[in-house]
Every structure is written in C-alpha cells, then in structure tokens.
Amino acid sequence: MKNHHSIIMLVVAAVLATSCHTRHKAGIEQSNFGQFDGQTVELYTLTNHQGAMLKVITFGGIVTELQMPDRNGKQGNVVLGFDNLDGYLSPEYMRSNPYFGALIGRYGNRIAKGTFTLDSVTYTLATNDGENHLHGGNKGFNRVLWTVKPILGESENTLELNYLSADMEENYPGNLNVTVSYTLTDDNELKITYVATTDKATPCNLTNHSYFNLSAGEQPTIAQHELTIAADRYTEVDSGLIPTGNLPDVSGTPMDFTTPHQVGERINDDFEQLKFGGGYDHNWVLRGDASIPAATLYDPQSGRYMEVFTTEPGIQFYSGNFLDGTLTGKSNISYGQRAGLCLETQHFPDSPNQPEFPSTILRAGETYRTQTIYKFSTK
C-alpha cells in the first residue's frame, strides 16, 4: 500500500512538472486597433513558447502590453497601457503626455532651450517641456505611424518597424531612416534593436518609454520594487532637468543604487536633485559593460525579476512622478503617482550642447545601432 501511494505521488508530481513547463503555441497575430489620420492602426500580438505575450501597435511603435509570469507561473501585464487607441489620443492623455510604451525620437530626453548648433548651423526645435525640448518635439516618433514587417523564428518572434523621418521634420536636419526591432524570445526576453542612417548630420538618440510595474497591477505603485543600477555617477541637473555638466558620485546619496534599494525608500529625502522632478528623473552614467545588467528590478510580492542589458552609455530612471490618477488603463487601473517606472536606455540628455558627453551626432555614411534587452525571470 505504501509503495502504491508513492507511485501515485510520483505520477502527480510528473503531471504537475509537465503542466508547469507546457509548451505554448508561439506566433504573431495581427488585428485592428483603430484609426488615426484616416489610416488603420494595427495591433500585433507576439507570443512565445512559454506563454509570454507582447503587444505592439503601429501608432508610435507603442508597447501596449507585456505579459510575463510570476513565481507561480501566472501571467500578468507588467507595463502601463490602454486597450484601445482612444486611450492614447484622449485630451487627458495629450495634456499629461506620459509617452506610455512609445518609441522616442529623434532625440530621447531633453535639449536645453530647444536649440543646438551643428556644423556652424543653429537649429531651433519645439519647446514642449517648459523652455526645453523633450522627446523629439510636438510630433515625435511616438505620434507617427510605423510600417511593420513580422518575422517568425523558431525560438523568437520579431516585429521590424520602419519610419523615415524627413529632412527638417520637427526642425531636425537630414532624412533619418529608422528601423526598430522588437523581439520576444523563448527565454522571456524583450529585445529592442535600433538602427538608423541619415543623409545629413543630425542628433539621434532613440529609446523606448515603457512604464514597468512588475506586480502586474496588484500594487498601485512601484515604491516597494527593489532597484539596482550599475552606475557610480549620474548627470546632475538644474531645476529644468537639464544637465549641469557635473557627474557627481552616487556614494552616500539617494542616487546610489549600486546595491538594491526600494524605489520609495529615499525618494522623499531632503536632497535637492529629487525636488526638481518630484522624485527620480535622472540619467545614470553606466559602467560600460554590456554583458552585465545596467539595471535590475525586483518585485518581492510577485517574484518577477527584470534585468536590463544595453549597449548605451546611460539609463534614465524615471519614477512616474507626474502621473496623477487622471488616466485609467488596462484592467480599469487608475494610474496614480508612481504607478510605474521607466528605465530608458539612452545617451545623455542635452548631449548636442555638451561636447564632453558621448556624442549623439550621426553623420552621413554612418550607422546608428544600439540594443537593449529586458530579461524576465522569477525568484
């Protein structure tokens, strides 16, 4: 009888083990997401063999949903977004303009006073963030329609998005041809690869503006998330969030994420840099080793763990300070302050005006190429 019981237990264990490692059907599906400027906005849904899911729309190349498993294998959406196009076009959204999940260009982050000089020519850009230029201007890459080519693979599926930004679009020089690839792998990685060429010298600094909440909406804020950033310095900013040129050491300050800290642990400290943006909204100077995570994020409640790998020299950690509850997203969740956080891989803010920073100038004949990987697991 004892042996019979043991056999039953072994069979049950085997069934459970099999169910935990079910091989899902992977693929890419296309559907209609709405209309913009008289054109159809398409939604592409990528799934992998683990059951993870990525949803991207052709408007703004926006990641609307990213489903990843918790420590019990339950899938949950770990990014902020909407179920329909109206969410991204509403007056409320346009007023706050949080750039949920969007591709950002030509220039991610800020350019001081909306001007820069390149090859003795001064260019004047839109000042859409106080007196400064932010995320490409009034109609950045987040508000254009991208063409899409789906690519099926054995262990990964890819969406290749393309956009040609015409010479002097938003007052940037040069015809910039941009290709961004979103790849969902069977290792539960979201790989984003950026490639661009130009026929005239131009600033180019591309990124993705996804807001992550690894609790999948179970927690209203990311205050309890544990963050590390592989950086010993950050770009100090003034009250307009423009770099001063100083690169202070993080040691002994709330900017030190060289070891894990909860996002909310020091966010209200009496520290001048945190007051300018109402929390974290800074660029960290990465150590420059693309083989180690530039950042990690862990939600102890769900067990979800995210590693960020990048070839970029910087990462902007933004703690969702300006979200104010006026937007309601997927699953009817109200997005209040710090409902999600961004880890935007990038070159440094205002680089066209700060020659000591790594250059963001792309010239004719050169190819801009960067890659960022968001890798998900549990612990």
CA dist 316 and 280 (Å) reads 9
Q: Which amino acid is at 81?
A: G
> 355 in helix, strand or coil?
coil
| Per-residue burial over 249-279, b = 16 or more CB atoms within 10 Å of its CB, e = otherwise | ebeeebbbbeeebebeebbeeeeebbebbeb
Closest CA to 370 of 302, 245, 296, 286: 286
196: part of which helix (H) or strand (E)?
strand 189-198
Active-site residue set? 209, 344
Q: Give the separation between CA 56 and CA 42, rounded to whole angstroms.
A: 8
Q: Give dist(CA 308, CA 317) in Å, integer.
A: 12
Secondary structure, 3-state, 40-75: EEEEEEEECCCCCEEEEECECCCEEEEEEECCCCCE
Alpha-carbon distances, residue 60 vs 147, 225, 274, 352, 357 (angstroms): 10, 28, 30, 24, 28
Structure tokens, 196: 């661009």
Q: What SS3 class is residue 133? A: strand
* DSSP conformation class of 149: E
Decide if 118 contacts 203 (C-beta within 8 A).
yes
**Distance from C-alpha of 105 to C-alpha of 91, rounded to nearest angstrom:** 22
C-alpha gyration radius of the chain: 21
Q: What b/e readout covers 58-83, taking b as 16+ CB neighbours within 10 angstroms?
A: bbbbbbbbbbbbbeeeeebbbbbbbe
